[in-house]
Structure 1
């Protein structure tokens, strides 16, 4: 009882001004909820991939990338200007097609208006907080100058390591089931890695110097997802180092990098789904209200819903006003430290 009495009193905030929000409170989408039962958990896993999802699309892109847009391992045994620049240009084109295409569709031509858009406020212009005083130009610059560079560096080093036997290789013909299971495992591992890296990035000294660049974006768009400080890009993409110790195939390595980059783009789209018509509610789900809450309230929802780290460690925001009040109290307590 004494412990409860010591808790700070919270005051509920005024109602949030979201242009669109999913049904609240946010449902538990974790596969680790044992009360749900294994059958329901498998159903959630199935629905996260099929019949069509951005994650499944990235699997297809990574396979095409390996077979048609990557150097052979024989070529990658030695660093060469041609193939290294080729990987960089391919990654540059890929992020430009995805982030640039989504920005044109959703924000330049407004093909679905503000339907399913979380926050309808315009992006910042003539704001000294951003590089070039523009949120859009700031996001494009850091996504390309730092993001594509670090992404390419990891990929080039990884291909070189596979080619020279420094990373263990897993062959589809020998281990077909394990080969497929890698695609399912990597996103879950990526979420766990992201949660702890993200918590470190919110440590005040690191936040002020590094992560604050990403958090300039309270209202996010497609180019915001990879708009980060170079040190954050290095930390964020470091989850691929798991391939140094566990046998995998270059396709898995490429998939993990593309998933981290391209799904950061889509999850920051600012819309729940991309639709083919302005008056439609059906389309490819891209946005993540769970993470949108993090960009508005900062000290909550550090991970992703599939692995409930935020529930386990008391940082979950379910979109309710009560959760907002708790988060604001937590922010005040953190700033006193």
Structure 2
């Protein structure tokens, strides 16, 4: 089967945030409906719930110990599995919408020597959970420990609600800017062949492809947390950072431009901009919220 699949009718363009002269109303509309809705708000809500009910108590985090750090790993693994696993079941096992809105007409490889066990989905699950969730959770745990002990600057919602609300939006811009920078680094030949090549085996992506990476790449990729070691924030902001970088790639790598639910309701899913990078390799290193590719 050829690669020919769905092509979105509209050209890829930079958000109105970068227009000159400025277009404030269009920018606010894009932030609300393009950046935050639906997935940004989903990850913010998930972070609030996780901090309130799915994270060990502050007292236990005053020292680094396998007990509470293991619970952070378990929470992240279960949440990633819930999102990526549901998308994989809906799109690739049940094939609920067939090939509608699928970028690549082919399905995931089930007999290829490129992948562990010759199976792309199983390979992707292994690297995502065994390495991806582990490195992500270590960065998150270190950041939480440093925040609890006052080793990094912090803020509380009662004292700085507007500032922290702004930081929730900054998460998405910093995450995409950091992605461009670390991605360009990973395309440096020594790092590419040592690590990044593993992710690029997935020319045709699926939900579990998102953070299916070599451990070296995970160390680079999840260094996005280090921003909060110098910029004051709160654990909810840290967790949005983790979910945006750890779980949202399951959506953007789903291989489908849109999810069709109930026959009529549609949700934005895959990222055509990044899909083209997987297909053509030397284009589109970043993402549209921070269109650095347009500058370089």
Give yes or no for TM over 0.5.
yes
CA contact (8 A) 1:99 1:265 kept: yes
Structure 1 residue 32 corresponds to structure 2 residue 15: no
The 5 Å alignment of 1:111-150 reads 111-150=96-135
Structure 1 residue 18 corresponds to structure 2 residue 4: yes
Which residue among 194, 208, 217 is the counterpart of 1:223?
208
Offset at residue 116 of structure 1 (A): 1.0
Between the aligned partners of 1:215 and 1:30, the Cα distance in structure 2 is 31
Structure 1 residue 41 corresponds to structure 2 residue 27: yes
Q: Name the SS for the 1:210 alignment partner.
A: helix
Q: Is the alpha carbon distance of 1:264 and 1:274 closer, same or farther for their aligned partners in structure 2, counting shifts above 3 Å?
A: same
Normalised TM-score (structure 1): 0.84
Which residue among 186, 210, 214 is the counterpart of 2:171?
186
Between the aligned partners of 1:30 and 1:95, the Cα distance in structure 2 is 31
Normalised TM-score (structure 2): 0.95
Structure 1 residue 286 corresponds to structure 2 residue 269: yes
Between the aligned partners of 1:134 and 1:246, the Cα distance in structure 2 is 42
Which residue among 253, 256, 260 is the counterpart of 1:271?
256
Compare 144-153 and 155-164 and name the one that shifted more. 155-164
Compare 18-27 and 132-141 and name the one that shifted more. 18-27
Q: Name the SS for the 2:17 alignment partner.
A: coil
Between the aligned partners of 2:61 and 2:289, the Cα distance in structure 1 is 35
Q: Name the SS for the 2:18 alignment partner.
A: coil
Between the aligned partners of 2:125 and 2:89, the Cα distance in structure 1 is 13
Q: Which has the larger radius of gyration?
A: 1
Structure 2's unaligned 5+ residue stretches are none
Q: Name the SS for the 1:304 alignment partner.
A: coil
Offset at residue 38 of structure 1 (A): 2.5
Structure 1's unaligned 5+ residue stretches are 1-15, 314-337
Structure 1 residue 239 corresponds to structure 2 residue 243: no
Match of 1:3 in 2: none
Residue-by-residue CA offset, 1:127-159 (whole Å, 9 max, x unaligned): 111122111111011001100110111111111
Which residue among 95, 102, 110 is the counterpart of 1:110?
95
Aligned length: 295
> Where do 4+ consecutive residues of structure 1 move more than 4 Å?
none
Q: Name the SS for the 2:259 alignment partner.
A: strand
CA contact (8 A) 1:130 1:138 kept: yes
Structure 1 residue 301 corresponds to structure 2 residue 279: no
Offset at residue 35 of structure 1 (A): 4.1
